[in-house]
Amino acid sequence: MYLAYLDDSGSPDDPNSQFFVLGGIMLFERQTHWLESRINPIAARFEANGSYRELHAGPMRAAKDGWDKFSPVERAQAAADILRLLENKQSKVNVIAAVVEKSMMKAEDILPYCYESLAACFDDWLAYRYQKHGEPARGIFILDRSKSAVERNMQTLHRVFKHTGHTGGRLRNFAEVPMFLDSKASRLIQMADNVAYWIYRRYQALDARGFEIIEPHFFKLGAGRTSLHELISDASRDRLRNLPGQKYPFPPSAEIIAPLQTFVRDTPAAQLAVDDSMTEFANLE
């Protein structure tokens, strides 16, 4: 079975945001333990005396919900380390996401549209796995339980898509209606939160640092389709196409950067450069 952990970023009803994202990660069931075992040490750097800290991307970047205790350097490193787990070939994690420019539809239609887009995409990918590799796998969506109204709506929608149909057909490869978990109980929901947030940052703030790490992990479905579904204006597409290079990209993973820490600590000029760069992590809007 393949599991897709999803979270949203932005809000359909927020007049201060232009975009909404529903997205996250998908992986084979046997990979979940391995991935969680790599996320836990990242969180442990920010936990003390038996405390538990959720790795939510928005508070990490904005120094909220207790993250103000940690420097921009530490927070930027944590964000990079979480996203760079996608690059580990052993984890075999793919990314799936739907992005909507909110001016293009009614607020109440945005979340159902995104859910339908992702459900159809995931269903098609499972069918592709069977056709090309003879893998008769099923899938399930897992979302953050904190949004109870979303839970009821998504389960109802899923039953309709499965038994009556959606725009492109009917869902045939899901094992069950979507499950909802408390994000505190699932590091993988927290990773989905980070993925959705940094996709959102690209569209909302033209900050593509996280997206540059995420982008190679969208999967292809043929005929030019990928697991990134966009409903955005031509003007927004043009802005994204002409984004300048990121002045302060995310650092390498902590495992790679650790041998450099002694040099940076003992070299004032190098330390100043790191400090300036990581301060931008929090201040770039």
Mean model confidence pLDDT for the chain: 84
pLDDT at 276: 56
Residues 167, 116 contacting (CB under 8 angstroms): yes
Nearest in space to 153 (alpha carbons), one of 191, 193, 182, 180: 180
pLDDT at 50: 76
Q: Give pLDDT tens digits for 167-180.
A: 566 777 887 778 88
pLDDT at 260: 44
- What mean pLDDT is predicted for residues 14-40? 94
Q: What percent of the chain has pLDDT over 90?
A: 49
pLDDT at 235: 95
Residues 8, 110 contacting (CB under 8 angstroms): no
- What mean pLDDT is predicted for residues 238-246? 86
pLDDT bracket for residue 263 (50, 70, 90): very low
pLDDT at 240: 94
Residues 26, 228 contacting (CB under 8 angstroms): no
pLDDT at 49: 79
Which one has a higher pLDDT value, 151 or 231? 231
pLDDT at 269: 53
Nearest in space to 9 (alpha carbons), one of 149, 252, 256, 201: 201
For the chain, give every domain's residue range.
2-283
Which one has a higher pLDDT value, 285 or 274? 274
pLDDT at 284: 44
pLDDT bracket for residue 250 (50, 70, 90): confident
pLDDT bracket for residue 257 (50, 70, 90): low
Residues 207, 57 contacting (CB under 8 angstroms): no
